A and B are shown apart, each in its own frame.
Chain A
Amino acid sequence: MLIFEQSQTNRRNPSQAPLVKAEVKDIPEKFRRKKRPLLPEVSEMQAVRHYTKLSQLNFSIDTHFYPLGSCTMKYNPRACNKLAMLPNLLGRHPYAPESTGQGFLACMYELQEMLKDVTGMKAVSLTPLAGAQGEFAGVAMIRAYHDSRGDKGRTEILVPDAAHGTNPATAVMCGYTVREIPTDGNGDVDIESLKAAVGPQTAGLMLTNPSTLGVFEREITEIAKIVHDAGGLLYYDGANLNAILGRVKPGDMGFDVIHLNLHKTFSTPHGGGGPGAGPVAASSRLEPFLPVPIVGKVQDKYLWETEKTRPKTIGRLSANMGNAGVLLRAYVYARLLGREGMHRVAEFSTLNANYIMAELAKRGFDMAFPKRRATHEFVLTFKKLKDETGVSAMDFAKRLLDKGFHAPTTYFPLLVPECFLIEPTETEAKEELDRFIAAMEEILKEARTNAEIVKGAPHTLPVKRLDDVRAARELDLVWKRTG
């Protein structure tokens, strides 16, 4: 039932709003709203019960194993939430002077310093509000760099065909055309194709390493050299940083600019689709172009560095300084982990992924790259199973929901047919991985003996499989009162 269907005209929550109804006389009638908006008129308890019940319809990390590849669904420590929501931190206005935010700014400055270390880069700006905005910042910086040198002929960004969709979309938002580079049979960028593609028109290359295929790009040094020799720059999509945190620094791989998804590697919550945070880090040649504001430190005082002190900046990407509350959660997480804890992230996320891959391979699942190590994630394909039984990756995913596991990422990377991208993260215990492996095996058996039960899944969730085609054809995006 929708909240609107529980609504009754003139039902109010008097304690939630000002008790006295102030009269407004000075706003002329022509500016005034004539009809009240359609907002629910429910009691506080009705609202609390409704949204609590809705929450219970969700799978989440707190309730389910959530091996969603490329999304890094690790545990979100409760301390991060609690400490980011201390009253003075919540109450601080974004335009309050720096003198009233030295505690907050100290956290931000230290987070910048830690991220510099982790990425091996010269400087960090925390301001991008999500991964895609961090990507935007990175590519806009590449463009600003070429422009600053009068190098106007660079109109093209290279993107591997395995890349996240945000990469080509970002390049276009920055005014570039996109050229895709194919992947070879082992999941590496095809070097010969790359050599053929670079030239004076190349502004840069966007790359994730490990790639979205769940393997480490072994020729990264060679790739960096090819792009740099052609006068292009390298952008690192930090979506998969969990795999190498504390073990490989993107700066050492030759990248000029990188963004990080703090809502992945640094465990800030995904919140059903955000908020995230996508700080961007730069090498010394791109540092001047970083988005502002950035937290600076002069003697013992923290301050905002803005357009005034950073005149080459690509500018501002939000009205304020980024998703401060998310950044605070990431800061607390980083301090809880500490140096050793960070090194272990990559170790144990990689251990978990390789363990599931090994166990599933033993049970007859087809790996997309059987000869490669898994990184923090890996790809398997149901191509053969679908040909034999008609059970698709989507069917398999829906059946996993019935067994109490969130499905892995399906049909991505686009290069591998009928695929799953499985990322367990480091925070899952072996017992949970074993239960997942057992469920996968059960479904594989079902597919071969009782395919219909898999094709008809899910059977046990609040709704059965939804009609997406109807959703797009007969658009119903807002509720309308009928009768």
Chain B
Amino acid sequence: MPFIPHTDADVKAMLKSIGVNSIDDLFDEIPEKLRAGKLTQVPEGLSEMDIGRLMQTRANQDGAYINFIGAGAYEHHIPAAVWEIVSRGEFYSAYTPYQAEASQGTLQLLYEYQTMMASLTGMDVSNASLYDGASGLAEAVLMAVRAHTRTPGTGKKTARKILMPSTVHPIYHRVVHAIVANQNIELVEIPHCTEGGHTIPESLRQYEGGEFAALVIPQPNFFGVLEEVDALTDWAHAHNMLAIGLVNPTALALLTPPGQWGAKGADIAVGEGQPLGAPLSSGGPYYGFMCCKEALVRQMPGRIIGRTVDKDGKPGFTLTLQAREQHIRRSKATSNICTNQGLVVAASTIYMALLGPDGLERVAQACHANTLALVDRLTAIKGVTRVFNRPVFHEAVLRLEVPVSETLRALEAQGILGGYDLAEHYPHLGQALLVCATETRTQEDIEQYAFHLERIVSKRRLDPPCAVKTNPNA
């Protein structure tokens, strides 16, 4: 019996102690008509060797591609030590640290994580993680609505509108809507500049007047473009809104952290933690980080670790401010979040410790340089142009003369994932493609991409109505 250690003798002795004749008797309180028949869609059990073979076959089937997709999830090198340590049973198989004295390892690690993340974002405090960047942004929106106070004389009802630039990840926008709309919170989208691909601070005048609780400020934005974060933050504060910074943690090694945006800094910083040590893994598990100003800490959702002392005065760590949380406050909690993404946070903490400030900066620099090299190389091809003229970080939008989806399919046949097709979310940009080359891409990868793209584009130009032939060698 897989993972059940009982011998027949054990079972017999245990039943005798309980005073029943069979295991079935233990279920005698369950009404007869509810007792299910056999499972029909669950196959017979496999041995570890058999399931190993099956999983290896399936992994092989999926292959390994040269990846130029970013769009919120980034392929970075993860030092070998990171998941070696994280996979230790003492981290891997422990629960949420409710019994602090028996969980000092996890608790101290999380306190160190909070310190690193607060410093990286330039904020006062950090929580111990949310689910992912998108749902983290939803929590930031809910937090902003809770924390927002109306300008005196503008009515009593709380502000329930949020300004969301169209340069925020479009799927984040959907996720935030799905989570906050149930509480009658409305997201108002701000159009972006068609030349710059950013939010124009002067265009915000129409939103002045006190209806909004917060402005979301992505840096870099979904297009990789850098936003005028100082002006946007100051504008939000001047009009009694909270400023929510949505940031890429790798970028923060190079870019001004949200805590230092404008005169007062952003109020809340959130983002996707995946770039710091989590593998792409088809989209999860990742984690959302959230940091804020100290004054807002009691509105923050999620676990928070504090340092305290034991009864002998020795320092130790414990879950704190639990009065915000669902297991204490129930319907009045700041969020329903319980389980978060602890193990991935452990990976991030070790990742940051191994890289240090210099290592993380090198990673950010290399990603950025590779993306620029990629953009330069691809835009040298006739029919490939850059869409926006503003500075970017490690991601950029290109326009093709040929349909993007066909081109991506043709590249895929060559073992290349060429980027993220913007057609669905940004049809007004035309045949646009978001590309990214992290530090893991080599000059040779970039050359291969360019070689195949050039061929596909020129072929298509010569012979437009035909389907693209994907593999000339076949």
Contacts and interface: CB of A to CB of B under 8 A. Distances in A.
B304 to A, nearest CB: 6
B30 interface: yes
Given A270-B93, A317-B135, 15 more contacts: A2-B112, A16-B355, A37-B253, A37-B257, A40-B353, A47-B353, A51-B353, A54-B108, A56-B90, A75-B3, A165-B325, A373-B26, A373-B27, A474-B308, A477-B114
A81 B48 CA distance: 12
A334 interface: yes
Nearest to A116: B41
A165 B54 CA distance: 40
A398 B371 CA distance: 54
B11 interface: yes
B353 A272 contact: no
A476 B309 CA distance: 11
A451 interface: no
B58 A325 contact: no
B342 to A, nearest CB: 3
Contacts of B172: 319
**Chain B contact patch, size range:** 35 or more
12 contacts: A16-B79, A55-B105, A87-B64, A90-B280, A178-B331, A273-B95, A319-B272, A322-B284, A324-B285, A336-B48, A347-B23, A412-B327
B5 A334 contact: no
Contacts of B31: 218, 220-221
B457 interface: no
Contact of B284 (A23, A129, A131, A342): A129
A324 B372 contact: no
B3 to A, nearest CB: 5
B52 A430 contact: no
Given A86-B59, A93-B280, A463-B316, A479 B17 contact: no
A71 B63 CA distance: 37
Please list the 9 inter-chain residue pairs (A to B) with the smallest Cβ-Cβ separation, ordered nearest first.
A338-B45, A320-B283, A62-B89, A271-B343, A103-B58, A94-B283, A315-B178, A273-B342, A275-B285
B342 A37 contact: no
A31 B252 contact: no
Contacts of A160: none
Contacts of A474: 308
A33 B254 contact: yes
A196 interface: no
A218 B32 CA distance: 11
B105 A57 contact: yes
A462 interface: yes
B356 A96 contact: no
Interface in B278-335: 279-287, 294, 297, 303-312, 314, 316-318, 320-323, 325-333, 335
B29 A218 contact: yes
A170 B330 CA distance: 9
Contacts of B106: 54, 58, 272-273
B366 A20 contact: yes
Contacts of B94: 58-61, 270-272
B115 A4 contact: yes
B59 A103 contact: yes
B473 interface: no
A103 B95 contact: no
A76 interface: yes
Given A468-B320, A475-B306, A275 B100 contact: no
B2 interface: yes
A247 interface: yes
A12 B308 contact: no
Interface string B345-384: 0100110111111111111011011101000000000000
A42 B353 contact: yes
B366 A263 contact: no
B4 A426 contact: yes
A271 B393 CA distance: 33
Interface stretch (B67-75, B199-207, B459-467): B67-75
Which of B55, B75, B104 counts the most A-chain CB atoms under 10 A from its CB? B55
B42 A466 contact: no
B376 to A, nearest CB: 11
A94 B340 CA distance: 20
A281 interface: no
A318 B119 contact: no
Interface in A36-66: 36-42, 44, 47-48, 50-64, 66
A26 B309 contact: no
A44 B90 contact: no
A16 to B, nearest CB: 5
Contacts of A116: 41
A17 B363 contact: yes
Interface string A242-260: 0010111100110000000
Contacts of A18: 362-363, 365-366, 439
Nearest to A20: B366
B92 A76 contact: yes
A344 interface: yes
Contacts of B253: 33, 37
A476 B306 contact: yes
Nearest to A460: B101
B95 A101 contact: no
B45 A339 contact: yes
A321 B135 CA distance: 12
Interface string B113-152: 0111011100011101101111100000010000000000
B27 A103 contact: no
A377 to B, nearest CB: 13
A21 B28 CA distance: 69
Contact of A336 (B45, B73, B340): B45
Interface in A72-109: 73-77, 79, 81-83, 85-97, 99-104, 106-107
B313 to A, nearest CB: 9
Contacts of A298: none
Given A3-B112, A101-B62, A351-B26, A140 B1 contact: no
Interface string A165-176: 110111111110
Nearest to B27: A247
Interface stretch (A228-236, A353-361, A442-450): A353-361
B112 A479 contact: yes
A13 B356 contact: yes
B331 A37 contact: no
Contacts of A136: 179, 336
A354 B311 contact: no
A419 B58 CA distance: 47
A478 B114 contact: yes
B28 A272 contact: no
